[in-house]
Structure 1
Amino acid sequence: MTTAAADPAAAATRRFEVWGDPIGHSRSPDLHRAAYALLGMPWRYDRRRVDEAAFRGELTALDPTVHGLSLTMPLKTLAHDAGARRDAAARATGAANTLVRAGDGWAAFNTDVGGLARALTEAGVAGVPRARVVGAGATATSAIAALRRIGVGAIDISARRPGAAAPLRDLAAAMGLAVTVSPMDRPVGIVDLTISTLPGDAPVPADVADGLAAVGGTLYDVVYGTWPTVLAEAWGRRAQEAHPGMTMLLHQAVLQVRIFASGSPDEPLPGEESVIAVMRRALVGG
């Protein structure tokens, strides 16, 4: 497939943005700009603060030179709904973090699923028998899909309000996973891997965090800007392995760059290993 970079006229006018609220903390510009520079793509990548109420109007009025968008919270469900077509991950989760122009409309993708799956594989936990997802928000849907992708067969969904996890339970069951739902202060069973999808500033009592750590295996916390989290500290008290969400951020961005370059998250970038390396350096050094 011909990449967008092969068309100098199109490449010269192509722009991308990351939207969310808040957005000032986003590391996406560092990642994307590093990739574009190495690939020789004269593209721009900027950030814009957009909340849920403004999303539809901003999308409708968007300058046509903006070819694609990265979407963060709280816009992922709205981005999914804006897609005239959606990839399998977006359809499965009802969320999208990437929009790219497709004819007169938008194609929606969820690269959080693939990014998390790649991050978990990098952490050495692919294929563990049982995992726990902490939290019941939008990111938890991507975590469940990522766990299925890396071969996990059974999950426990741990939520403050177990009733709120019913859609996640149904999603996991539809994917063929054995699933239980438990309160955060009474997790069900011992697992090999815990994925926390809680915000970095989520108030988790120390005894609840310690209880999760006691039966939690390796921790992968999707948070990357606030570290250590309360959960990471609990894992540390037990000298257990804990990973921040930096690698998920990295790998979902790699898949976004693939989409912006070729239209597909499955089309590797030219010299992709070098691209990943320069993006990783930008993330660590930024």
Structure 2
Amino acid sequence: MRCAVLGDPIGHSLSPVLHRAGYAEEGLDWTYEAHRVVAGGLPGFLAGLDASWRGLSLTMPLKREAAGIATTVTDRARLAGAANTLVLAGGGVLADNTDIPGAVAAVRERGVSSVTSATVLGGGATATSLGLALVELGATRLRLLVRSPDRAEPTLVALRSHPAHPEVSVADLASGPVTGDAVVSTIPAAAQGPDLVARCREVPLVFEALYDPWPTPLADSVGPGRILVGGLDLLVHQAALQFEAFTGRSAPLSAMREAGETALRER
């Protein structure tokens, strides 16, 4: 069977490394590729697939458009308004979002069982998924720090639509306060200037969604007594959930993580 990760840009993706490691560990004769697909190109790509295809992992800029073209959408993907996973089976397309449960698993793996309030840096599709993960972890108050409030509107709508009805506010990334039990960064490393990093220093849990480059300025600032969840942690857990959705088997998490760590060291 065939699977792939789609997006633009796509050359940096570690998804092929993780999924192929899973296939090798489980003795599956499956393939996993990477394809550059630009915004608006997902329907055309899907139209060219045959019955040998089982699953697609999606990265930017395809996450928001994926849910609109699937035949079935999971509740969490519908709530997020974004999907990072398409399962192809029975002539249909199931859209799911494994970023949300993957982020929850990554935080709990660090020994943190709950969060009461948090700050999210950024307001795009990844911020939506990780914000929803924070709500799943118990957060009742979230603050988004963004450059453009208008572009963060879909994220605001999604977070406020969660059945838990968290209190969500928006502030300027350049000057807004960073408070709460956790800070989640979905912004580029280049946007993590000294002032922003300093504003994050009092927050005990830092969740950096990036894995390359690593460490980012924010991740590098996390010292003793604080907890760091990295982008590779998120990637491994969301990929493991995709692996299970595609193959129907339990994911070999350790093998997938080890492959990702090795690939990053070699970059």
Match of 2:262 in 1: 285
Shift in Å at residue 163 of structure 1? Answer: 4.1
Shift in Å at residue 234 of structure 1? Answer: 4.4
Match of 1:207 in 2: 195
- State the 4+ residue runs in structure 1 displaced beyond 4 angstroms: none
Cα distance in 1 between the residues matched to 2:245 and 2:86: 9
Match of 2:95 in 1: 108
Q: Check whether the contact 1:206–1:234 (CA below 8 A) recurs between aligned residues.
A: no
Shift in Å at residue 39 of structure 1? Answer: 1.7
Match of 2:115 in 1: 128
Instruction: Classify the secondary structure of the residue corresponding to 1:16.
Output: strand
Q: C-alpha deviations, 1:212-255, integer Å up to 9, x for none?
A: x144332111000111223224445x984433211100000000
- Pairing 1:164–2:151 present: yes
Q: Check whether the contact 1:117–1:147 (CA below 8 A) recurs between aligned residues.
A: yes
- Which structure has the highest helix share of the two? 1
Q: Check whether the contact 1:157–1:180 (CA below 8 A) recurs between aligned residues.
A: yes
Shift in Å at residue 139 of structure 1? Answer: 0.5
Match of 2:235 in 1: 249
Query: Which residue, 56, 72, 83 being the options, matches 2:43?
Result: 56
Larger of the two Rg values belongs to structure:
1
Instruction: Classify the secondary structure of the residue corresponding to 1:157.
Output: strand
Query: Which residue, 161, 167, 171 being the options, matches 1:174?
Result: 161
Instruction: Classify the secondary structure of the residue corresponding to 1:58.
Output: helix
Q: Look up the equivalent residue of 1:109 and give its one-letter code.
A: D
Q: Look up the equivalent residue of 2:254 and give its one-letter code.
A: A
Q: Look up the equivalent residue of 1:197 and give its one-letter code.
A: T
Query: Which residue, 124, 132, 151 being the options, matches 2:138?
Result: 151
Cα distance in 2 between the residues matched to 1:239 and 1:151: 22
Shift in Å at residue 165 of structure 1? Answer: 2.9
Instruction: Classify the secondary structure of the residue corresponding to 2:67.
Output: helix
Cα distance in 1 between the residues matched to 2:85 and 2:120: 23
Gaps of 5+ in 2: none
Cα distance in 2 between the residues matched to 1:173 and 1:86: 20
Identity of aligned residues (%): 38
Q: Check whether the contact 1:180–1:188 (CA below 8 A) recurs between aligned residues.
A: no
Q: C-alpha deviations, 1:8-51, integer Å up to 9, x for none?
A: xxxxxx11111111111111111111111222221111111111
Shift in Å at residue 142 of structure 1? Answer: 0.2
Cα distance in 2 between the residues matched to 1:189 and 1:248: 22
Q: Check whether the contact 1:126–1:152 (CA below 8 A) recurs between aligned residues.
A: no
Cα distance in 1 between the residues matched to 2:30 and 2:192: 42
Q: Look up the equivalent residue of 1:251 and give its one-letter code.
A: H
Cα distance in 1 between the residues matched to 2:143 and 2:112: 16
Q: Check whether the contact 2:66–2:95 (CA below 8 A) recurs between aligned residues.
A: yes
Q: Look up the equivalent residue of 2:81 and give its one-letter code.
A: G
Shift in Å at residue 204 of structure 1? Answer: 3.5
Q: 1:117 to 1:29 in 2, by over 3 A?
A: same
Cα distance in 1 between the residues matched to 2:255 and 2:155: 36
Q: 1:74 to 1:166 in 2, by over 3 A?
A: closer
